[in-house]
Amino acid sequence: MPLLKSWVESANRADGDFPLNNLPCGVFSAGDDGDRRCGVAIGDHVLDVSGLEAEGLLDLDGGPYLDVAFWNDFMDAGPAAWASLRAQLTALLRQGSTKQYLVEDHLVPLAEVTLHLPFIVAEFTDFYAGRNHALNVGTMFRGPENALPPNWLHIPIGYNGRASSVVVSGTPVRRPWGQVKGADHATPAFQPSRRFDFELELGCVLGQASTHGRPVTVAEAEAMIFGYVLLNDWSARDIQAWEYQPLGPFQAKATATTISPWIVMKAALADFRIPTPPREVPLLPYLAEPGPGNLNLALSVGLTPQGGAETVISRTNSDQLYYSFAQQICHHTTSGCAMSVGDLIGSGTISGPDKGARGSLLELGWGGREPIPVDGGTRTFLEDGDTLTLYGHADGAGYRIGFGRCAGQVIPALADPWSRP
């Protein structure tokens, strides 16, 4: 699809994240009242869609949906409502719109707003769908001959996380305390994590629920997806190393999960769908895909030391995911587990085959043995004051579909986690 020209001139830049083709969904506040409203990014502005709906400039069957500070109610309305919103907004914002004069008053400069979590996170599940990441981590801990777990090529592996730890881009992330045990220590110690890390992931937001006790097919799972966010699943590697056997990650992954503030709707990425990679072993029939399920998104990671300049430390692509989100959701429901509106699904770390395409410091620094250069020094793991930023976009013909920044700064651990003010 070519670039859709908008009367919002900043939406027509080839290097902008938010052309008319995108229309991602977020929640913002402006001014001193702190009133949170649903908005859509267009160029370097936010369009107040709560205001448009209240004034009758949006007509959504069964509404109002946008008179609240989250997108869950609208997501629950279903795919027909999703398509209707995009069609109406496209007509209102397109060059030549006869209603430009009515819409202009609902635009707010992005530079003047505060962005919030765009939806109420019902549940959070993190998968392990990146083959290169699984190979790298497995090689470090088990050797190359046993790098992939025996089940990895057969099922999407995941674990249930904490919805309460999901935060929006810009939220500081405090270094966690935890129980750790070094190989040369007889007993564990309780201390701040010294091997704090990021994970470059894509997140999937579910806009439709499933029924408890009834699995969904891959095709049904695809129809449940509302959109996507960038996702950083912060990880305390030293805490994880001590706790993960036999039940997998727990506190190591519970500090924070940062997501980008804009949900890029599935329809905006329809032209960028690609097949999943060739299968090394055949998957069971229930995981068969009816069509291309992966996305072609350029991803990168920037690390900015406090007071320093940003260094891009990784560049990769979401085409490296071995399992699509629809396959992950399908498998999630096979036990009868019900999915809810507002569920967040993490892809797992997305790493490419080359060193510069690895999606975590654990891999980039190979377990701390190979420091990587950043402005003013090197890193093996994150230091206090570091800001970690994820970027992602799809490249169209003269435009791109972007997510905005997904950023968080590491702040020092509490001096005493048990003290109270």
Catalytic pick among 45, 133, 331, 332? 133
d(CA 282, CA 153): 9
d(CA 217, CA 220): 5
- Give the CA angle between residues 398, 401, 403 to the nearest 5°: 145
Q: Which two tokens stand for residue 167?
A: 């935060």
d(CA 206, CA 344): 7
Decide: 77 and 108 in contact? Cβ < 8 Å.
no
Q: Mention every residue, 6+ apart, whose C-beta is less than 8 A from residue 299.
A: 200, 202, 230, 314, 315, 316, 317, 318, 350, 359, 390, 391, 392
* Active-site annotation holds for 45: no
Beta strand pairing status for 173-174 and 406-411?
A: parallel
Query: What residues act catalytically?
Result: 133
